[in-house]
């Protein structure tokens, strides 16, 4: 099946909220995502606090491509493909650290922290000094930019600035990172684990699927005081493909420990600084694969590892000003709830993995459109919260906006500027044969 605009649009009926599961399992679609989504989106790389000193580096991925994020002597940040120009081996196999050079362990080509090739074994007797060092530096990520300490990269030189790309999401990021005067920092140690499912299942859940929590997390929520049911909340869908949910009441847990006490004090101060945003953001996704649970002081990246496999990289975040006891308690809390053995997170992995299993092995199940119609037509403008606002804590407006944007990226050969005209995904109308309410995917 040619992956043209007509076929891709036939899989994603974001208007009605019907999505073909083919987009979560088809290897060809996965390949095209690497080019059109991960090759052109602003992707989270690291937080400033993870690479504070010159020559500090952090090894990560942009889509399937390994990259090195390196603090430069002038304080700036560069990112390079972590791929040797000789035969494509990784030039750095450590996860993070501080170094003056990266030496490829295959044949020993060596690069400095600005990506320049500075050492080649047998340059004189084997290459006769004819190899251009200048032309064989590491491949640079085209654009690097940061927002409030969050560093992003983009492979596409024609992509708009990060601030434009984040759009309305900036307002909500501010409400979280500006809790205190000195902002946030990421604690050492990234927790990484693998789920056998498509990365979008996780990304779309963090866009706004709070609906799963009372059922999936019923047992773990018993530990956290009040359950969600009947609680006041809302959600926001953003045209840029981002989304998030709020709960207008803090779920209390560990009230009497140093973290609980710190959160109480901080909450009051934070509300004075940034208003209601300080408390309310439950979860968010910045399109495509950067998500967070500000209430749980956790951010994460969903790294695709194949059509039916992704890695979760989970970072614990604290206020820079937090006292030591609160920081330690935050780390314990994060391991207790999030992470591969966390009492909350294991529930999600179970769901995603079983869905991935069905899609990998089933045939009929792949022909059935999934239902994303919750809350359709019920968003409004809100004087305090930018974006398309939904009054219920539960809604799928964010997910529909996410897949609308996904489709625009996938079908557009140039960088997919959001069209002026409302209601049209990249200018394309949905063709005949789109997922329909009557017959699933035809
Ligand atoms: Fe890196 Fe040969 S692959 S030196
Ligand atoms: Fe969950």
CA dist list (Å): 101 to 55, 70, 122: 9, 11, 18
Task: Note if 232 is an active site residue.
Answer: no
Q: Is any ligand 1 atom within 6 A of the Cβ of residue 80?
A: no
Distance between Cα 175 and ligand 2 center (Å): 22
Separation of alpha carbons 391 and 370, rounded Å: 23
CA–CA dist 93, 400 (Å, integer): 38
Ligand 1, closest atom to CA 84? Answer: 1
pLDDT attached to residue 18? 97
- Distance (angstroms) between ligand 1 centre and the Cα of 104 equals 6
Task: Establish whether residue 131 lines the binding site of ligand 1, counting it when its CB lies within 6 angstroms of any ligand atom.
Answer: no
CB atoms within 10 A of CB 68: 27
Distance 141 CA to ligand 1 centre (A): 20
Point out the ligand nearest to the CA of residue 213.
Answer: 2
> Which of 237, 165, 209 has its CA nearest to residue 387?
237
Q: Is 141 in the pocket of ligand 1 (CB under 6 A)?
A: no
Element (H, E) at 304: strand 298-304
Edge-to-edge order in the sheet of strand 43-47: 43-47, 150-154, 143-147
Q: How many whole angstroms separate alpha carbon 48 and alpha carbon 70?
A: 10
Q: Do 357 and 339 meet the contact criterion of CB atoms below 8 Å apart?
A: no
> Given the CA of residue 88, which atom of ligand 1 is nearest to it?
3
Pocket of ligand 1, candidates 81, 82, 84, 127: which has the most ligand atoms within 8 Å of its Cβ, to mutate? 84
Instruction: Tokens 């690497």: give the residue.
Output: 34
Q: For a substitution probing ligand 1, which of 107, 118, 122 has the most ligand atoms within 8 Å of its CB? A: 107
DSSP H or E run through 80: strand 77-81
Atom of ligand 1 nearest to the CA of 85: 1
The interface predicted TM-score of the complex, written ipTM, equals: 0.98
Dihedral over Cα of 202, 147, 262, 251: its sign:
negative
127 CB near ligand 1 (under 6 Å) = no
Q: Is 209 a catalytic residue?
A: yes
Mean per-residue pLDDT over the chain, rounded: 89
Which ligand ends up closest to the CA of 136?
1
User: Is residue 60 within 8 Å of 121, Cβ to Cβ?
Assistant: no
Q: Does 93 sit in the ligand 1 pocket, CB within 6 Å?
A: no
Intra-chain end-to-end CA distance of the chain, in Å: 14
Residue 378, both tokens: 């019920």
Of all atoms in ligand 1, which is nearest to the CA of residue 107? 4
pLDDT at 176: 81
- Give the Å distance between the CA of 46 and the centre of ligand 1: 26
Report pTM: 0.93
Identify which of 83, 279, 322 has the alpha carbon closest to the alpha carbon of residue 175. Answer: 279
Over residues 300-348, the pLDDT tens digits come to 999 999 999 999 999 999 988 888 888 888 888 888 888 888 888 899 9
pLDDT attached to residue 438: 46
Ranges of the chain with pLDDT below 50: 424-428, 438-439, 442
List 13's β-bridge partners, or say none.
18
Give Cα separations from 421 to 418, 424, 426, 428 (angstroms).
9, 7, 9, 11
**Which contacts (CB < 8 Å, 24+ apart) does range 51-57 have?**
51/77, 51/96, 53/98, 54/113, 55/98, 55/99, 55/100, 55/113, 56/96, 56/97, 56/98, 57/92, 57/96, 57/97, 57/98, 57/99, 57/113
* Ligand 1 nearest-atom number relative to CA 87: 3
Q: Which ligand is nearest to the CA of 111?
A: 1
Does residue 242 carry a catalytic annotation? no
Catalytic option among 26, 347, 348, 397: 348
* pLDDT number for residue 371: 97
Identify the active-site residue in 4, 212, 232, 357: 212
Locate 397 and state its tokens.
């407006």
Please indicate whether residue 431, judged by its CB atom, sits closer than 6 Å to ligand 1: no
Ligand 1 centroid–CA 90 distance in Å is 8
Ligand 1 atom closest to the CA of 104, numbered from 1: 1
Q: How far is the CA of 132 from the centre of ligand 1 (A)?
A: 15
Which residue's CA is minimally distant from atom 3 of ligand 1? 87
Point out the catalytic residue in the list 209, 319, 347, 397.
Answer: 209
- pLDDT at site 211: 92
Question: Which residues, other chains included, contact 199 with Cβ-Cβ below 8 Å and sequence gap of 6+?
Answer: 289, 302, 303, 304, 310
Any atom of ligand 1 within 6 Å of the Cβ of 43: no
């Amino acid at each position: 099946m040619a992956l043209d605009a007509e076929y891709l649009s036939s899989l994603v009926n974001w208007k009605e909220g019907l999505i073909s599961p083919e987009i979560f399992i088809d290897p060809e679609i996965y390949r095209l995502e690497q080019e059109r989504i991960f090759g052109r989106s602003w992707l989270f790389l690291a937080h400033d606090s993870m690479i504070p000193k010159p020559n500090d580096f952090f090894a990560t991925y942009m889509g399937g491509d390994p990259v090195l994020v390196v603090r430069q002597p002038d304080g700036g940040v560069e990112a390079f493909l972590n791929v040797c120009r000789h035969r494509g081996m990784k030039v750095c196999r450590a996860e993070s650290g501080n170094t003056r050079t990266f030496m490829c362990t295959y044949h020993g080509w060596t690069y400095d922290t600005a990506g320049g090739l500075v050492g080649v074994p047998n340059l004189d007797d084997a290459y006769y000094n004819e190899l251009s060092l200048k032309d064989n530096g590491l491949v640079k990520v085209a654009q690097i930019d940061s927002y409030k300490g969050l560093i992003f990269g983009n492979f596409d030189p024609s992509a708009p600035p990060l601030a434009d790309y984040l759009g309305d999401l900036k307002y909500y990021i501010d409400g979280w990172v500006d809790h205190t005067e000195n902002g946030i920092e990421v604690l050492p140690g990234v927790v990484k684990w693998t789920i056998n499912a498509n990365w979008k299942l996780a990304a779309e859940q963090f866009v706004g699927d709070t609906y799963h929590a009372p059922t999936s997390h019923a047992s773990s929520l018993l530990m956290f005081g009040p359950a969600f049911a009947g609680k006041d909340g809302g959600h926001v869908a953003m045209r840029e493909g981002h989304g998030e949910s709020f709960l207008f009441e803090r779920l209390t847990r560990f009230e009497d420990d140093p973290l609980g006490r710190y959160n109480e004090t901080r909450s009051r101060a934070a509300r004075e600084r940034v208003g209601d945003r300080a408390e309310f953001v439950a979860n968010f996704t910045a399109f495509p694969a950067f998500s967070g649970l500000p209430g749980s002081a956790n951010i994460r990246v969903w790294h695709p590892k194949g059509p039916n496999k992704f890695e979760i990289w989970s970072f614990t975040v604290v206020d820079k000003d937090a006292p030591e006891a609160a920081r330690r308690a935050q780390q314990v809390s994060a391991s207790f709830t999030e992470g591969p053995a966390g009492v909350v997170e294991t529930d999600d992995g179970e769901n995603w993995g079983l869905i991935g299993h069905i899609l990998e092995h089933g045939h009929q199940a792949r022909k059935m459109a999934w239902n994303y119609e919750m809350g359709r037509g019920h968003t409004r403008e809100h004087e305090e919260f930018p974006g398309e606002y939904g009054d219920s804590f539960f809604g799928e407006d964010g997910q529909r906006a996410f897949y609308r944007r996904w489709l625009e990226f996938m079908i557009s050969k140039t960088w997919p500027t959001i069209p002026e005209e409302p209601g049209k995904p990249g200018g394309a109308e949905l063709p005949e044969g789109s997922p329909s309410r009557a017959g699933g995917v035809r």
